[in-house]
Amino acid sequence: MGAPGPRTQKCPSPKSGQTYEISQESLHLDIEKLKEKQDMLNQEISLFISEGYSVDELDDHINQLHEYNDIKDVGQMLLGKLAVIRGVTTKDLYAEFDLDMSD
């Protein structure tokens, strides 16, 4: 009798309700990739800490970046609405308000 093939399990697809097979080997590979990513992130965190940053400081910086992006998104939306009202492009408004197109 030959060696058994890879063990698989049928799992429901979260979107379609159809089933698909997942092999244990595939799951182990996914777990290994996640462990490698975790190790990489832990190394990055250690590097930041060695450079004098604290985890709280990094969390605060991330929160400030999120807030900045939210404000920027609102500004983009307002520029778009103003451009429609005026019948011009947002590029025209960037020039009018002395804004950098790469920002």
| The two three-digit tokens of residue 50, written as one number | 């060695």
What is the pTM (predicted TM-score) of this model? 0.50
* Short-list 35, 56, 68, 65, CA closest to 48: 56
- For residue 5, is pLDDT > 60? no
Q: pLDDT tens-digit profile of 21-76?
A: 678 888 889 999 999 999 999 999 899 889 998 888 888 989 999 999 999 999 99
Phi, psi of 52 (to 5 degrees): 100, 0
Q: pLDDT tens-digit profile of 12-22?
A: 555 655 556 67
